[in-house]
A and B are shown apart, each in its own frame.
Chain A
Amino acid sequence: MTELTQFDLVGAWISIFLTLCILSFLYEDNPIYKLAEHLFLGVSIGISITEIYYGVFKPNLLLKLAGGRWLSVIPLILLVMLFFKVSKKYSWVARTPIAFIVAAYAGVKLTGEANANLMTQVAQTMPDLATSWAEHGFWDWSADGAGVFSDVVLVVGLVACLVHFYFSRVPPSVTRYGAKLAIFAGVGVMFFTAAGLLVVDKAGPFSAVFLGMLAGVCAAMPFLAFSTYRPWVTRFGVLMLMLSFGASFGYTVMGRISLAIGRAQEMLGLTRPMEQVVQIHPRIASLVSIVLIVAFLVVWRMRGGGPKEPEPS
């Protein structure tokens, strides 16, 4: 069995104690929570500075200067110029390095966003219904719900969300043509899609008509934004947004509960191998910490800590 050092043992106990100090905030804001919070901030900044010194300053600046590479003086000068931001009189000096940073960042961001986020994702909103039908059918449980149903919901939902955001007001004269255009586009796309699929023999008659209808629905959707049915489309868009926010919120809740479970596993000694658990005794550490924190909170409240009652006016 590997013997843990005194440093490891004390570190494990402090970790459990500080976790419970932070959790004491759930009771209410208190000095022991503040202590842990300030310690956390101090340690975080300390680690950041150390890592940045050894990871950036030393190899990229100090060692290069020591090696006689004097061009490295330029970033050093820019760095010094940044610190002029704290002076009211000379804060303009900092504008030059900030301009370099912003320009470099904008240039790097722009190409990536345009290629990977815009082009590829826009292309994904134009699904190939015939291929999707052939690979997954209407709905494939084994592929996380892939299939033509998901594809059509994607297109219709996307259009509805865009309509909700961008076409909030349409002149009444335009709404006269919206429904007619939607029918024209829907039927036209349905016909050509079904005919196309039959001609190239990519699908049977039933599949071709079915896929044609779905493609027709997708094609008709944007035109409904210019019709009297627009409120229905925007309402569907809102529904889609709510579903999306709900899914994101669900994932966030799951993440937060996961973090709580992680700390609970640590406090119960479930994260460590048994040979370490028998040396650290994390459950005893947790119990001792709880007793200490509760005792502190009781004394603190008895001495008038905590929220004050508003004085009667």
Chain B
Amino acid sequence: MYDLLQRFQNMDRRWIFAGMALAILIPLLFPVEFEFAVDERVSSLYDAVEALPTGSTVFISADFDPASRPELEPFFRANLDHLFRKDIKIVMATLWEFAPPIAVPITEEIAAAHGKEYGVDWVFLGYKPGKELAIKSIGENIPKTFPTDSRGTPVGEIAVMNGIKQAKDFPLLINVSAGFPGTREYVLQIQGQYDLKIASACTAVSGPDYIPFYKAGQLVGLSAGMPGSAQYEKLVWAESEPPKGTRKLATQAVNVLNLGHAYVILLILFGNIAYFLTRPKEVSDD
């Protein structure tokens, strides 16, 4: 037993990776379903969208990239479906240069599923570099920050932009944030100054940093990581199905995540037990 525990401690790390691969692949191939509850933070985000009047216009800052796609794409899809379903118009932009090739096709796909027209029901203003300076500029003057949309049409000629001058003209800003620049910068730069309602969907890594913003009322809702996306999917598609081409990816993944976590917890437990049972006894000087 002692030898076995010692061998466990010196085990090749590749066995641990192989175990994790199995913990992920097996439940994906043979799906299991666990019940999960919805956090107050996610239900607040859902309620903030539900409270929007039909025909209003929201601003989405799609600040994510391929690396954060598994965590944020499910939220992004569910959120777009939620907004279009309620006939809410969308003005979208990004501060991340890798976001347009992901965000635009998804929006086009979901807009088409709802019969929404570009320029009338939604618009993509494009990528804006400058990080905090760009956010400050969005707060002050949107037509000046984005003189044209991503297709080169002047914003003055875009129907969905009628009457929109600055960030406070939107009843809600939704930030899909994979890091810097993202939710923290929106809160620091313009939320307090213009008293904006901002909702955020962020990666799990950023979650603990943004929870204080939610607690302080600087965010009206927060969805953190894959579980947050799964909870939002659960709320949005409680009584309906996702639009054509969209699958409940986060709901599927969160069940797998449970087994992945169980595997990590078991490793931590075994590692500690093995360490304490095999550590050499302290020899006193006496």
Residue positions of A touching B, CB distance < 8 A: 26-27, 44, 47-48, 51-52, 55-56, 59, 104-105, 108-109, 112-113, 115-117, 120-121, 123-124, 142-144, 146, 244, 247-248, 251-255, 257-265, 268, 270-271, 273
Across the A-B interface, give the 4 residue pairs with the lowest CB-CB distance, nearest first.
Answer: A262-B70, A112-B188, A255-B204, A51-B97
User: Would you mind naming 6 contact pairs between A and B with Cβ atoms under 8 Å apart?
Assistant: A59-B147, A109-B132, A254-B257, A257-B257, A262-B253, A270-B247
Secondary structure at the A interface, as helix, strand, loop or mixed, is helix
Contacting residues, chain A, for B260 (C-beta < 8 A): 257, 260-261
Measured between alpha carbons, how far is A260 from B67 in the docked complex, in Å?
10
- Contact in complex: A124, B212 (CB < 8 Å): yes
- Contact in complex: A261, B218 (CB < 8 Å): no
- Contact in complex: A104, B133 (CB < 8 Å): yes
Chain B nearest CB, measured from A42 CB (Å): 14
B interface residues, how many (CB within 8 angstroms) = 58
Contacting residues, chain A, for B88 (C-beta < 8 A): none
Q: Looking at the complex, which one of B17, B189, B207 makes contact with A112 (CB distance below 8 Å)?
A: B189
Q: Looking across the interface, which residue of chain A has its beta carbon closest to that of B29? A: A268
Q: Looking across the interface, which residue of chain A has its beta carbon closest to that of B193? A: A115
Measured between alpha carbons, how far is A105 from B157 in the docked complex, in Å?
33
- Contact in complex: A52, B97 (CB < 8 Å): yes
Bitwise, B243-275 to A at CB < 8 A (1) or not (0) is 011010100110011001100100000000000
Q: Looking at the complex, which one of A26, A108, A117, A257 makes contact with B261 (CB distance below 8 Å)?
A: A257
Q: Looking across the interface, which residue of chain A has its beta carbon closest to that of B97? A: A51
- Contact in complex: A260, B24 (CB < 8 Å): yes
Chain B nearest CB, measured from A261 CB (Å): 5
Contact flag A105-B215 (CB < 8 Å), given A112-B189, A255-B225? no
- Contact in complex: A258, B70 (CB < 8 Å): yes
- Contact in complex: A265, B97 (CB < 8 Å): no
Interface-located stretch among B45-53, B123-131, B165-173: B123-131
Measured between alpha carbons, how far is A260 from B17 in the docked complex, in Å?
11
Task: State which residues 150-208 of B face A: CB under 8 Å.
Answer: 185, 187-189, 191-193, 203-205, 207-208
- Contact in complex: A252, B205 (CB < 8 Å): yes
Contacting residues, chain B, for A104 (C-beta < 8 A): 133
- Contact in complex: A258, B257 (CB < 8 Å): yes
Q: Looking across the interface, which residue of chain A has its beta carbon closest to that of B216? A: A124
- Contact in complex: B148, A59 (CB < 8 Å): yes
Q: Looking at the complex, which one of B24, B136, B189, B203 makes contact with A255 (CB distance below 8 Å)?
A: B203
Q: Looking across the interface, which residue of chain A has its beta carbon closest to that of B69? A: A262
Is B40 part of the binding interface, using a Cβ–Cβ cutoff of 8 Å? Answer: yes
Q: Looking across the interface, which residue of chain A has its beta carbon closest to that of B184? A: A117
Measured between alpha carbons, how far is A109 from B136 in the docked complex, in Å?
10
Measured between alpha carbons, how far is A265 from B229 in the docked complex, in Å?
16
Is B28 part of the binding interface, using a Cβ–Cβ cutoff of 8 Å? Answer: yes
Q: Looking at the complex, which one of A44, A251, A262 makes contact with B98 (CB distance below 8 Å)?
A: A44
A48-B98, A270-B247 known; 14 new pairs, CB 8 Å cut-off, are A55-B127, A55-B128, A109-B188, A113-B188, A117-B188, A124-B215, A144-B41, A257-B257, A257-B264, A260-B24, A261-B253, A264-B28, A265-B28, A268-B29
Measured between alpha carbons, how far is A117 from B187 in the docked complex, in Å?
9
Is B62 part of the binding interface, using a Cβ–Cβ cutoff of 8 Å? Answer: no
- Contact in complex: A261, B256 (CB < 8 Å): yes
- Contact in complex: B208, A248 (CB < 8 Å): yes
Q: Looking at the complex, which one of B71, B205, B224 makes contact with A262 (CB distance below 8 Å)?
A: B71
Measured between alpha carbons, how far is A52 from B244 in the docked complex, in Å?
33
Chain A nearest CB, measured from B175 CB (Å): 14
Is B120 part of the binding interface, using a Cβ–Cβ cutoff of 8 Å? Answer: no
Contacting residues, chain A, for B20 (C-beta < 8 A): 257, 260
Contact flag A261-B226 (CB < 8 Å), given A108-B133, A254-B204, A255-B204? yes
Measured between alpha carbons, how far is A262 from B253 in the docked complex, in Å?
8
Measured between alpha carbons, how far is A271 from B74 in the docked complex, in Å?
10
Contacting residues, chain B, for A48 (C-beta < 8 A): 97-98
Measured between alpha carbons, how far is A284 from B163 in the docked complex, in Å?
52
Contacting residues, chain A, for B133 (C-beta < 8 A): 104-105, 108
Contact flag A51-B100 (CB < 8 Å), given A115-B192, A248-B208? yes
Is B279 part of the binding interface, using a Cβ–Cβ cutoff of 8 Å? Answer: no
Task: State which residues 209-226 of B face A: CB under 8 Å.
Answer: 212, 215-216, 218, 224-226
